[in-house]
Every structure is written in C-alpha cells, then in structure tokens.
C-alpha cells in the first residue's frame, strides 16, 4: 500500500506542477480568503478514483465536494487534503502540500505530507518511524517553549485566543506559513517546537501519525482528544512545550 500511495502522490504532484503553467480556475468558498481551485477538486478526484479502484470497501473523508463528513471511523478510512495551503498555491505557487492519512478503526496507520514544489515527501507509519523521501529521520529534541519557534495561526496570535499571543511571546518567535502541512513538517524537522491553529481533520490526520512516531503531544487546545468531525483549535508540541502551554497558558 505504501508504494502505491507514493506512486499516486508523485503522479498527482506532476499534474499539479504542470497545472501551474496554465491559468487556474479559482472560486471562493466561505469568503474571499477561503479559496478552492479546479486543481484542488481534480486532485481529490484523482485520489478517490484510485482508492475506489484498489480498495472499494474503504471510506474517504476529504475536504472538497461532498466528502467532508463521514458517519463513522469503523474499518479503514482515508483522510485527504488534496491541496493544503490553497492560498499559497494560488498566490505563491509554492508552500503547499498534499496530505493523505490511512486510519483503521480510528487509529492512524499511515501518514503522508508531500511538499509538492520541494519534492519532499514526509511519510511514516505506526511503529515504523518517519522518513523524508528514502531517509529515516531522527526524532527532534524535547525543547521547552522558551527555546523554540512556534507555528501559529495569525488571527489567534493577534486576538490572543487561548493565550496564543502570550504563548508566542514566551517562545523564540512565531512563524505563520499558511499551510498546516508546512508547519507540521517544520516540527518533524525539529525547526519548530509546536503549532497552534484552527484546523479540520484533513489538516491534521496525516500529521498526527508522524507526530506520534516522534513522541510529540497533541490535542485540541483545551487538552481534549481531537474530534475529527469539525474545525477546532489545535495544539501540537514537544512534550516539554505542550505541558508548559497547558499548565501556564490555557485559561479559557
């Protein structure tokens, strides 16, 4: 399964790169800063067709076009964000990812975060570690909040939602990439000690499989398990930073 998912990702990424040489068809979803393109939809359809052909019993939760809810996580479920960071895709033509996760009975088994323009595929599976392309990565150090950069949602930082502003000020600095995949990669590389944002299940499903392998802690911002059924405030961090954030900053 891993080999074929990688092949699908490479094929989709090739198609996405070529699409950047043509004019995109861009539409608004909930507002002018919430975009979807023909490539988001076509990429999602590409994966759905592949999964349906190979694994017809499996179910799919994916961001676009009527796949964004699922009645249960029983059996095998694929969770897909065809282009994570659509605003970056449209405005920068880089810093966007494809993310795919495979869950069984609600437990993450495989996770893939593919930075398409860098051709960097971060992937891994339960109890098998985390890889960048073909190279196995070593887990980052368990640094405290005061010794690392933290990825953050700009609105949460500005409005100090769940003390995000204070948390950011305690860190070495905040970073705002506009792409959950890029933020999660930064944690896997050891560049960031954490990530605070407002995310949907397809934004974090693949990342959690990989964060788990490296011993990061994660939950909704109040410390409860992520629900996988709606957008919610999200916290992931090194154990040291996670504990410090929960104990000292989460008042709401």
The footprint of ligand IPD (CB under 6 A) covers: 63, 81, 84-86, 153, 178-180, 197-199, 203
Contacts (CB under 5 A) with Ca ion, residues 118-137: none
**Quick one: which segment of 59-67, 127-135, 219-227, 237-245 binds Ca ion (CB under 5 A)?**
59-67
Contacts (CB under 5 A) with Ca ion, residues 63-82: 63, 81
Nearer to ligand IPD, 2 or 45 (CB): 45
Nearer to ligand IPD, 115 or 203 (CB): 203
Nearer to Ca ion, 63 or 183 (CB): 63
Nearer to ligand IPD, 51 or 156 (CB): 156
> Which residues, in sequence order, are bridge partners of residue 136?
131
DSSP secondary structure letters along 61-93: EESSTT-S--S---SEEEEEEEEE-HHHHHHTS
Rounded least distance, CB 177 to Ca ion, Å: 12
Rounded Cα gap, residues 191 and 225, in angstroms: 25
Name which of ligand IPD, Ca ion, none residue 64 binds, using a CB cut-off of 5 to 8 Å depending on partner kind.
none
3-state secondary structure of 111: strand
- Candidates 171, 173, 226, 175; CA nearest to 198 is 226
H or E element that contains 196 = strand 192-199
41: buried, middle or exposed (CB in 10 Å: 19+, 13-18, 0-12)?
middle
**Footprint on this chain of Ca ion (rule: CB under 5 A):** 63, 81, 83-84, 203
């Amino acid at each position: 399964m891993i080999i074929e998912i990688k092949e699908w990702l490479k094929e989709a990424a090739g198609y996405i790169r070529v699409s950047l040489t043509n004019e995109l068809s861009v539409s608004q979803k909930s507002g002018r800063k919430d975009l979807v393109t023909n490539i988001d939809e076509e990429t999602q359809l590409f994966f759905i067709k592949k999964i349906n052909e190979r694994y017809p019993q499996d179910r799919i939760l994916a961001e676009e076009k009527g796949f964004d809810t699922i009645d249960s996580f029983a059996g095998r479920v694929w969770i897909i964000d065809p282009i994570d960071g659509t605003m970056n895709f449209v405005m920068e033509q880089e810093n966007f990812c494809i993310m795919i996760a495979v869950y069984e009975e609600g437990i993450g088994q495989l996770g893939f975060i593919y930075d398409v323009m860098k051709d960097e595929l971060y992937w891994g599976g339960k109890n098998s570690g985390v890889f960048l392309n073909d190279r196995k990565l070593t887990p980052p150090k368990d640094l405290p909040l005061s010794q690392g950069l933290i990825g953050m949602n700009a609105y949460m930082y500005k409005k100090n939602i769940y003390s995000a502003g204070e948390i950011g000020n305690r860190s070495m600095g905040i970073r705002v990439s506009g792409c959950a995949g890029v933020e999660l990669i930064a944690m896997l590389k050891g560049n960031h000690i954490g990530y605070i944002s407002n995310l949907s299940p397809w934004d974090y499903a693949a990342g959690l499989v990989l964060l788990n392998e490296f011993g990061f802690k994660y939950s909704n911002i109040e410390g409860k398990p992520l629900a996988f059924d709606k957008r919610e405030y999200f916290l992931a961090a090194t154990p040291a930073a996670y504990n410090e954030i929960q104990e000292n900053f989460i008042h709401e």
